[in-house]
A and B are shown apart, each in its own frame.
Chain A
């Protein structure tokens, strides 16, 4: 997938607001594969809403969302599953990990679906993010910062053209944020993918091609 186009999209909650100042809502915006985007916003402007539209979790908007020119309104469940498995990977703000599984199992439950990364590769990611000793611990007992890193590894365990990271470093110190940034940049590079990061201030250090004000 090469482009994601938003044409005149407005979330229904903002529909009644004519003074909406945004570079995303009620605009034509094209996101291209291979570029890095930072979407900055104050809270309440719909960052997570934006992400949930791209992943097909919600569709309470007017306007058109086009993946490679194809209208998302026509997507079947199968199309969305395909998109989530192969084209758009998402690091959710609320992580959506399974607390009763270990960190390793949380990654594997995805990787066995996509059959994408080797165990050695996943091991290396754990090492690089400095949580390798937490691999076999249940996610439920880990700190949010540690969980964010597990969620990133899970997001990397699939092929993607766009990596969507919704406030990925909100609970990480700068050092760890940098490690995460490097890993994301490398993996996105390897796949020739775009990275779309949202932030309410603190953001992951990446070479952004475009900073968009939500």
Chain B
């Protein structure tokens, strides 16, 4: 075979240690890069998961709970107005708590889970970002939409479902949860059905629509006066310093889950970037070894290559064996590093799954796509370099 003869000639002086050095270095570098990217794609969405239920930029403000100062935790009208006048505030709304009792009994997939008193609250509808139709109380059908804190889900799944051998609930299966609500106060009582429409990461409150709360308070606690202890504030730029300063001076607390998540995400992003850069550097250095090795090979075989040209071989035909060698090496590195990522991901996803018991739809595709892209770019550059080197002879 023609190629065999050419290959028989051109494989002279191939250095196995050099190629093995390239192979392992590139394998390590590539695995680090792909694993970093895959980890990033797997974990960051969990940290930055938006509620999808609430408008984005807001903070919940409450008063600091001191031990003995006996200060009222209620925001007065004047305090609310003062806060509303601040530059960073776009809109402000108060949490309205139920002034009556709510007994809830929860069923999961038709099975009784628990009965409990439920502290429901409402915020102005403008802060809730779900279609109007989902977030209205339909008096005729007596169905109340409810948003639960996500921590409830974890509490139920870990602390409750297990010991009672009840089914675990994932976020995608909220419809499995049914609530019967019994409202009583002012000498009256009424039954309602609760329908969970989602879980919130960021509001630690069991929310119902404002219209329902107003109606229920009028009905079951007509004498109570609203005394908000928490305010929800939509802000412009969260990073503005004067928010923190203002809250500090007034002795207010801000629930800044989001800020924390952002910090964590930023750090994670930074660490993963550093790790990926290190991987890339290892890979680049290994490619440098490969190119040097092939340069050396071409140099040592220069006379043969020239003779092949002079008896009529095209330079592309002469370059091909070296190019195929490079493609094969790169392809094996790609496949092995993807296998490594797959195995390692199996380990860490078990941990991630137990920390974030939500429906997961992440796949290994990010690593595969990035790996293939890197393979194509790197191989294209390699082929070009080899071609140029051989043309240069």
Residues of B whose CB lies within 8 Å of any CB of A are 1-2, 5-6, 8-9, 12, 304, 307-315, 391
Contact = CB atoms under 8 A, between A and B. Distances in A.
Contacts of A65: none
A98 B391 CA distance: 20
Interface stretch (A29-37, A84-92, A179-187): A84-92
B12 A113 contact: no
B9 A113 contact: no
Interface in A91-106: 92, 96-98, 100-101, 105
Nearest to A52: B310
B315 A77 contact: yes
A112 interface: yes
A97 B9 CA distance: 11
A113 B313 contact: yes
A111 to B, nearest CB: 9
Tell me if B's interface is mostly helix, strand, loop or mixed.
Answer: helix
A113 B310 contact: no
B314 A110 contact: no
Contacts of A110: 311-312
Interface residues of A, number: 23
Tell me if A's interface is mostly helix, strand, loop or mixed.
Answer: helix
Contacts of B1: 112
A27 interface: no
B314 A78 contact: yes
Contacts of B391: 77
B392 to A, nearest CB: 12
Interface of A: 55, 57, 77-78, 81, 84-85, 90, 92, 96-98, 100-101, 105, 108-110, 112-114, 154, 158
B311 A84 contact: yes
Contacts of B304: 98
Contacts of B309: 81
Contact of A98 (B307, B312, B314): B307
Contacts of B9: 98, 100-101, 109
A78 B314 CA distance: 7
B312 A114 contact: yes
Contacts of A55: 310
A160 B309 CA distance: 17
Contact of A101 (B2, B8, B311): B8
A113 B312 contact: yes
15 contacts: A77-B314, A77-B315, A81-B313, A84-B310, A85-B312, A90-B310, A96-B311, A97-B307, A101-B9, A105-B5, A105-B8, A109-B5, A110-B312, A112-B1, A113-B2
Which of A55, A109, A110 has the most C-beta atoms of chain B within 10 angstroms of its own C-beta?
A109
- Please list the 4 inter-chain residue pairs (A to B) with the smallest Cβ-Cβ separation, ordered nearest first: A85-B312, A112-B2, A84-B312, A96-B307
A100 B13 CA distance: 12
Nearest to B6: A109
A101 B310 contact: no
A100 B312 contact: no
Contacts of A101: 5, 8-9
Given A98-B9, A98-B307, A101-B8, A109 B2 contact: yes
Given A84-B312, A110-B312, A112-B5, 9 more contacts: A55-B310, A77-B315, A98-B9, A101-B5, A105-B8, A109-B2, A109-B9, A113-B311, A113-B313
Given A96-B307, A98-B307, A100-B9, A81 B314 contact: yes
Given A101-B9, A113-B2, A158 B312 contact: yes
